[in-house]
Amino acid sequence: DQQVKQNSPSLSVQEGRISILNCDYTNSMFDYFLWYKKYPAEGPTFLISISSIKDKNEDGRFTVFLNKSAKHLSLHIVPSQPGDSAVYFCAASAGGSQGNLIFGKGTKLSVKP
């Protein structure tokens, strides 16, 4: 049973436009959410996180939105750049299991010049 779901395996966006990556979760105990970016043959790189007490967190071109009632979060990248092309993973953890991040399967973002 997948607790963190990224239902879009891939997304293609034009350079300069907005990229929106979505993530749904089922476990209501999750209280901390993260986005990681991964290039082929490399480990995931931390991008941005959000605690369940917030509904938005912004860092430069990256903004994460959390809708707890819908158990949904999204990552917005504005403006998208070709260097953003990578696989993006959504991850979640519950307060009692801080070592155990549950990851989605990832969304491959392609930003075209």
Q: Please report how close the Cβ of residue 27 comes to other proteins at its closest, in angstroms.
A: 14
Among 1, 43, 69, 113, binds other proteins (CB under 8 A): 43
Q: Which residues pair with 36 in a beta bridge?
A: 46, 89
Q: Please report how close the Cβ of residue 103 comes to other proteins at its closest, in angstroms.
A: 3
Residue of 20, 31, 44 lying closest to 7 (CA atoms): 20
The CA-CA-CA angle for residues 89, 11, 84, to 5°, reads 65
Among 10, 12, 26, 97, binds other proteins (CB under 8 A): 97
Q: CA 86 to CA 103: how far, in whole Å?
A: 16
87, 108 in Cβ contact below 8 A?
yes
Q: Is 52 in the site for other proteins (CB under 8 A)?
A: no
Nearer to other proteins, 86 or 104 (CB): 104
DSSP 8-state assignment for residue 3: S
Among 13, 104, 109, 111, binds other proteins (CB under 8 A): 104
What is the Rg, in whole angstroms, of the alpha carbon atoms belonging to the chain? 13
Q: Is 36 in the site for other proteins (CB under 8 A)?
A: yes
Q: Please report how close the Cβ of residue 79 comes to other proteins at its closest, in angstroms.
A: 25
Binding site residues, other proteins, CB under 8 A: 4, 32, 34, 36, 41-46, 49, 89, 91, 97-106
